[in-house]
A and B are shown apart, each in its own frame.
Chain A
């Protein structure tokens, strides 16, 4: 019964969205009352989709195997949390989650956006409704999550064991919040193109949404990377796999959008570019969600693909993205260009940022789609792997990181590079000193590692240098510095922390790529292996059973360089329902570094052990966490609070020519 109610709620949400779309686009000039109706429609869509989603969760928790989706992805013996997360561990359920987040964002605009000009509000919500109608319709007609199974089996087929992890509970919702959040920017861009009105108030509106989505996406990608790192058991944290690229491209474009929206808000320039980026970012998000699902690209991370829907998905993508760009081509020229600035200025620096980020998106896109293209045109099967991306992406990011610390030191309109360089001398000196010190201590052979370290330190210290400079630390009494620091707006801190986090991530990547050590060896209980100063003693091997799997466990005792010992347990699990084996690597953190143990399948009582020592690898994710933290901090800044005072919105509003 509740399943039919959920199905009905989703159909109703689709109907409301369709009506909102048509009504919104037809009557957007009619003022406040239409906006009010659409706001209520947006909230109603949210309530309905939430009800549909709740019905699915209820069916999974109750192990209702009359629901086909639960049969295919659940099992009555599964722990509760995996029953719940199993709802979105498949194509149909994840579509409902995607739509739920979409309508949640729409409802948020409707709730927090009361002060938006009514025409803008109507157009934004109409565009959101269009997306809900399109993807809701897609879900209902091609991938109905509410399909029943007749007759219902007694037991489900279980969820893929790799997905039975807390990562599935966290990663997709965060990632989707990021992807889908950019739909707001997209809707604002479409609204601006239709109404022909775009100004600083528009940018002030779009920026918090961009910031929020970007923050979620940063967390989602970092979480996904860490999940793959510990779950797949290959010891890698980034594979340049199509799915990863698909989530990384919107992140790069979103980062560019954050910076260009800043120029637009502060200086009323880069309007057309910002609109273009808004459309591109969401288009890439759509590509990220759906290209992989279409089954055209294959990936190690895909669990929700169904190639039979490929054509429908491609048609839908072509319609939404193509339609948006068609509108852009028609209307972009009607937008008025704003403030002038010299090439050397804060605006100029942000353009450089956008230039490199956008080009990097292009390079990653080429690398991801080239195999498809070649296969379609020539019929040759190739793979574009990590070397391609490391070369092109690395070469494009390096110059960006070199100029990054200058940005915040440059004044708007026209700036002095020499003055900025002077203020960065301290950071530069510190970065060079530390790089030389580490290279000398570590005995680095000739490689790119010292250059990478230099870049990482430079970005990290350069970010802090801005705070030091603005607080006049060392030039005025300490108390005065403290007072100045406390008086800085939160946006200054969030900029510094985000850039610092970028530097930290770079350091982690460089350190782990350059100094990682690895050992593959045959090791039996009672024997000991050595790696990078750590001694790994294989104590015992045992077999245990848990709720829904049996496990081979290797018990190890690790003696670190400091002489202290720690226990580690590496497992190989076999899940009862499917008989699928998985590797549960053992990971132990020493400071910022990690020791990673993978136990191979036993053969005639001999065991193979693979051990990695990954120096400073956690910096990669800590840096991402810092960036995300900076995003949240910036959202609490007075200037960024969601909602622009009505006065400002109207005073600054200027119709296009």
Chain B
């Protein structure tokens, strides 16, 4: 089955061939590892509850995910402009979103918003996530509420 003649003609010994393959493999893996590390450093988005945002002094303009509950009686809408307050029981942050909110966006329900803080301490959401299940509270929000001692499974669920 082997092709020693052909391989010799090309000047590749079995060892060299194996080396070439391993070198190629190492190069691709190194490239991938570099990419992954760079991307993990720059492209990941941290999740913060309102209390985290205040405690850690999150830089304005930096993309984050803000999670908590939509505070009762705070959602106002003017055309496509929405304003609502995200709370974790400890602190509140006023969020703005332009567009159509998900179907299950409600006051008193969990919400995760992607966006960034403004220098004035508000939050501009570029995307509001809600799962299409009315009993759903994002896991991160549950953790954040538990941290604030605000988690009431029977009421929340």
Inter-chain CA distance A370–B36, complex, in Å, is 11
Among B44, B104, B133, B138, find the residue whose CB has the most chain A CB atoms closer than 10 A. B44
Determine the chain B residues whose CB is within 8 A of the CB of A387 once the complex forms.
39, 43
**When A300-B132, A581-B103 are in contact, do A355 and B25 touch as well, CB less than 8 Å?**
yes
Inter-chain CA distance A346–B76, complex, in Å, is 63
Inter-chain CA distance A351–B24, complex, in Å, is 10
The segment from B2-10, B85-93, B116-124 found at the interface with A is B2-10
**When A356-B28, A606-B79 are in contact, do A396 and B35 touch as well, CB less than 8 Å?**
yes
Determine the chain B residues whose CB is within 8 A of the CB of A380 once the complex forms.
46
Q: Is A343 interfacial (CB 8 A cutoff)?
A: yes
Among B1, B2, B43, B140, find the residue whose CB has the most chain A CB atoms closer than 10 A. B43
Q: Is A608 interfacial (CB 8 A cutoff)?
A: yes
B28 x A355 contact (CB < 8 A):
yes
Determine the chain B residues whose CB is within 8 A of the CB of A233 once the complex forms.
103
B46 x A608 contact (CB < 8 A):
no
B39 x A600 contact (CB < 8 A):
no
A342 x B32 contact (CB < 8 A):
no
Q: Is A419 interfacial (CB 8 A cutoff)?
A: no
B134 x A578 contact (CB < 8 A):
yes
B48 to chain A, nearest CB (A): 8
Secondary structure of the A contact surface, majority rule: mixed
Q: Is B45 interfacial (CB 8 A cutoff)?
A: yes
B40 x A370 contact (CB < 8 A):
yes
A490 to chain B, nearest CB (A): 27
Q: Is A413 interfacial (CB 8 A cutoff)?
A: yes
A363 x B35 contact (CB < 8 A):
yes
**When A342-B12, A366-B36, A388-B44 are in contact, do A298 and B65 touch as well, CB less than 8 Å?**
no
Give the number of residues in A that approach B within 8 Å (Cβ atoms). 55
Within 8 A of B (CB), among A13-47: none
A116 to chain B, nearest CB (A): 24
B47 x A162 contact (CB < 8 A):
no
Inter-chain CA distance A338–B1, complex, in Å, is 7
Q: Is A384 interfacial (CB 8 A cutoff)?
A: yes
**Given B39, B46, B99, which contacts A391 in the complex, CB threshold below 8 Å?**
B39
B131 x A300 contact (CB < 8 A):
yes
Inter-chain CA distance A300–B130, complex, in Å, is 8
Q: Is B129 interfacial (CB 8 A cutoff)?
A: yes
Q: Is B146 interfacial (CB 8 A cutoff)?
A: no
**Given B2, B29, B32, which contacts A392 in the complex, CB threshold below 8 Å?**
B32
**Given B2, B21, B80, which contacts A343 in the complex, CB threshold below 8 Å?**
B21
Determine the chain B residues whose CB is within 8 A of the CB of A608 once the complex forms.
79-80, 99-100
A580 x B134 contact (CB < 8 A):
yes
**Given A362, A413, A581, A603, which contacts B77 in the complex, CB threshold below 8 Å?**
A603
**When A382-B44, A392-B35, A521-B80 are in contact, do A340 and B4 touch as well, CB less than 8 Å?**
yes
**When A338-B1, A343-B21, A414-B6 are in contact, do A385 and B138 touch as well, CB less than 8 Å?**
no
**Sample of 5 more A-B contacts, CB < 8 Å, known A233-B103, A340-B1, A366-B36:** A363-B32, A384-B45, A520-B80, A578-B134, A583-B103
User: Which B residues lie at the A interface, using CB under 8 A?
Assistant: 1-4, 6-7, 10, 12, 14, 17, 20-21, 24-25, 28-29, 31-32, 35-36, 38-40, 43-47, 65, 77, 79-80, 98-101, 103-104, 129, 131-134, 138-140, 143
Q: List 13 A-B contacts (CB under 8 A).
A: A300-B132, A340-B17, A382-B46, A388-B43, A396-B31, A413-B6, A414-B10, A572-B103, A580-B103, A580-B104, A580-B134, A598-B100, A608-B80
